[in-house]
Structure 1
């Protein structure tokens, strides 16, 4: 068992005194693989103080120098890719090939951020006064707090850290207590890359204590968080007194619409990937399928055949489905399935918790498929975040769009059709920030990943995400 018991503050590995420990569990076998500090508010404040002290000198470096260090960190991530991937499997449970993909994504986020160093641009405009010009600069926000979810702990940390550092901010990271090792591993590599003391700090603990302290402290200037809508609301409330800048990427309930003219084989494969990758623990997952009535039967025959072929097993053997991240998460899903069936859902494929044989230890769950007969079923309203997918038959394109929009969420959506007119209509009529046409999910670093409605505020990636880590300063320069 690895015994971590340390956090990374002001360039040093420290053991906080007087705090409890949290056990980190391998979800495939329930073995404790590490213990980490359950940091208190005082430790959070220490990390913020270090970040505040370091930020000004860091911001004073040329952006290209800051980028050089972030490039070095990206290179170290790739050099240590296999050990990072194995660590991800151990704490999160995703299949090893998907863990390797997450490591590559983390490196990509860092590299893209570094490439933006020469793209921090402002404006110069004429004044109404003689001998005067107006200059608008983009400057760092200050101290950034990053709070990350347990489903992609390394990639989400890198996604936030890269643009924050390149734009001249300092950073305090707190990964979710279920999967804290990715952030600590990233800190060790950052130390090797030469990131100055205090510029990047990592603490561990629970959101209700250390997380709240980070958010509420006047030392933090911005909070960027990926997690549940419930947690996002709590952060919103905690940040209100300080009028803090927030970027919140929250829950999703992605509709997966398949029209009668779709390439069904392509749609089926995308539906499986978009539902069952990472055991369905992806915010952009296929959460509910709306199938045109003319192709619904054929689609479902193909879909069920494909789902039944999925292999569940030891994530190091690279199956299609690894374990769920925790027993508590399975409990939530089982409650949703029971409520859906009570409300009239028909189990087409009845899966659930696995407990026997090779699955006697760990948090295993086989896929479930439910046919619904109305859009008011409770499983349509709540994010499942697991290997369960409900579907409804729809009579028309308009019917599908209306049902898809009947949701509190607005993160991602899918449309499979060959009709460009439908694609263009969906871009106007579907109330989701990210739409995938004729493909599975998976955003790219140069895009923009954001949510509308209860799926969040702000966003990540690309030039728009990078700009979120900067604020604008206006100068009136008079030389008369």
Structure 2
């Protein structure tokens, strides 16, 4: 690659530099230096992409699901051929380690493979009719044009997670990558072109939320919107989509509690807590956001956790350390502010707490793996989603207090529970107001599971047969014969 590479948008099967003539820099999180540029698209570019998707949709829907699935399998084959390229691209653009980047490529292939396999069991229903000489049937049909808005933490996997089910169900797509990580989407569209997906079926425009995201969401041509992002972003999208009553699939943020009771396997819980917090530098929506540990084992658990945390190596993500930088400077600065304000309010810093940049990368978005002991649940560090490599620990009295603290929140994406008591396990399953509960298990996910939030953590969800439903609407037919 040259010092500054230019990547274009993809509209109606053509590469375009956009109508504004303006470009946006893409920064390397490890150094905070520009290495690429993409077009700063305008409303006109958004309309052109939506028009292309609208024109292409009837013919795409007319294909059989298996024909559409063949294109997904071809995309997967191309992605596997280009695995190393995409892994290194993810490191350069998002800052995750090379090992984590290879894992993201694998996950992307898995999401699209599951969607392709789902083509065999897309189905509706036949119901008993109320009168003789009638048939009563419900079909499932695509919405039409899908706008897919991706977050910066998994620039490639989120494309596969959204594009796969949208395409196999007969929708056409306009991709809007995050402005910090647009190059992965551009390179993915290169594969779309290479495998011969018809023009207009997949389109991609780049820009920020106000210039590109808003007009895409508010357009009457958009019939379903899938977003992975913050709660605030989801609220903005819901408001903009309201006039057209577009379908919504909003996978939003959360504040996952990691609950450890006295009878837990402390060694396994401590290891899982570290992995679930510091994976991808803590930039995972279902990451361990706050440990709630029963007071009688708090010292033991904290000591074992710190053993794990103190071995985490940061460094140039291309060299495969344990943890890379945060994706953006704004994210790094916000994390630093949360830590400093918590310490000023009385939280005890147990590990990290500094930027800790590796030699030669002092301008990057670095922050050390950090652990704090917090006794005040009103601190912003406890109330707000951190989305970074910082872990607060709170002592609790019992399971009831943990449930009360978790359910007092207005979000509910995920939670972790560590106990060997089957009665308390079922108590947590029944009463925790979250979309996912990990019981005696660390951070994980399955392609056929359902990933969704409760309360303000989202509407709809991703993955599995339930996730596929978000890209389909129902049509009931009363047939007389």
Partner of 1:457: 459
Q: Which of 422, 428, 431 is the equivalent residue of 1:429?
A: 431
Q: Select between 149-158 and 344-353 the one with higher mean Cα deviation.
A: 344-353
Quote the Cα distance in structure 1 between the aligned partners of 2:123 and 2:138. Answer: 9
Question: Which residue among 444, 448, 451 is the counterpart of 2:450?
Answer: 448
CA distance in 2, matches of 1:352, 1:465: 40
Are residues 1:246 and 2:248 paired? yes
Separation in 2, partners of 1:51, 1:461? 23
Q: Which residue is equivalent to 1:362? A: 364
- Does 410-419 or 367-376 show the bigger shift? 367-376
Greater mean alpha carbon deviation, residues 229-238 or residues 51-60: 229-238
Partner of 1:353, secondary structure, is coil
**1:110 aligned to 87, 91, 112, which one?**
112
User: Conserved in 1, the CA contact under 8 Å of 2:61 and 2:170?
Assistant: yes
Look up the match of 1:79.
Answer: 81
Structure 2 unmatched ranges of 5 or more: none
Q: How many Å apart are 1:194 and its aligned residue?
A: 1.9
When structure 1 is superposed on structure 2, of 50-59 and 8-17 the one drifting more is 8-17
Query: Which of 51, 54, 64 matches 1:52?
Result: 54
Tell me which residue corresponds to 1:143: 145
Partner of 2:15: 13
What are the Cα deviations for residues 161-220 of structure 1, in whole angstroms up to 9, with x where unaligned? 000000000000010010001111111111112211100011111111111010011111
- Selected match of 1:131 from 130, 133, 148: 133
Counterpart secondary structure, 1:358: coil
Unaligned residue ranges in structure 1 (runs of 5+): none
Following superposition, the deviation at residue 421 of structure 1 comes to: 1.4
Partners of 1:346 and 1:5 lie apart in 2 by 46
Mark the CA change 1:174 to 1:299 in structure 2 (over 3 Å): closer, same or farther.
same
Among residues 192, 204, 217, which one is paired with 2:206 in the alignment? 204
After superposition, the C-alpha distances for 1:55-75 in whole angstroms (9 at most, x for unaligned) are 000000111100111111111
Counterparts of 1:393-432 in structure 2, within 5 Å, are 393-432=395-434
Say how many residue pairs are matched: 479
Query: Structure 1 CA distance, aligned partners of 2:439 and 2:360?
Result: 39
Give the TM-score normalised by structure 2. Answer: 0.98
- Indicate if the aligned counterparts of 1:263 and 1:416 stay in contact, CA closer than 8 A: yes
TM-score, normalised on structure 1? Answer: 0.98
C-alpha displacement at 1:110, in angstroms? Answer: 0.4
Which string of whole-angstrom CA distances, capped at 9 and with x for unpartnered residues, describes residues 320-362 of structure 1? Answer: 1101112111111122123323333222224122357334231
CA distance in structure 2 between the partners assigned to 1:406 and 1:307 by the alignment: 29
- Counterpart among 94, 97, 109 of residue 96 in structure 2: 94
* Shift in CA distance, 224/356, structure 1 to aligned 2, threshold 3 Å: closer
* Aligned equivalent of 1:314: 316
Question: What are the within-5 Å matches in structure 2 for residues 224-243 of structure 1?
Answer: 224-243=226-245
- Measured in 1, the distance between the counterparts of 2:21 and 2:302 equals 52
Kept in 1, the 8 Å contact 2:29–2:95? The answer is yes
Q: Runs (4+) of structure 1 moved beyond 6 Å?
A: none
Indicate the residue corresponding to 1:160 in structure 2: 162
The superposition leaves residues 69-124 of structure 1 with CA deviations (integer Å, 9 ceiling, x where unpaired) of 11111111111111000000000000000000000000000000000001111111
The 1:154/1:356 distance shift into structure 2, 3 A limit, reads: closer
Distance 2:195 2:171 in 1: 17
3-state SS in 1 of match to 2:285: coil
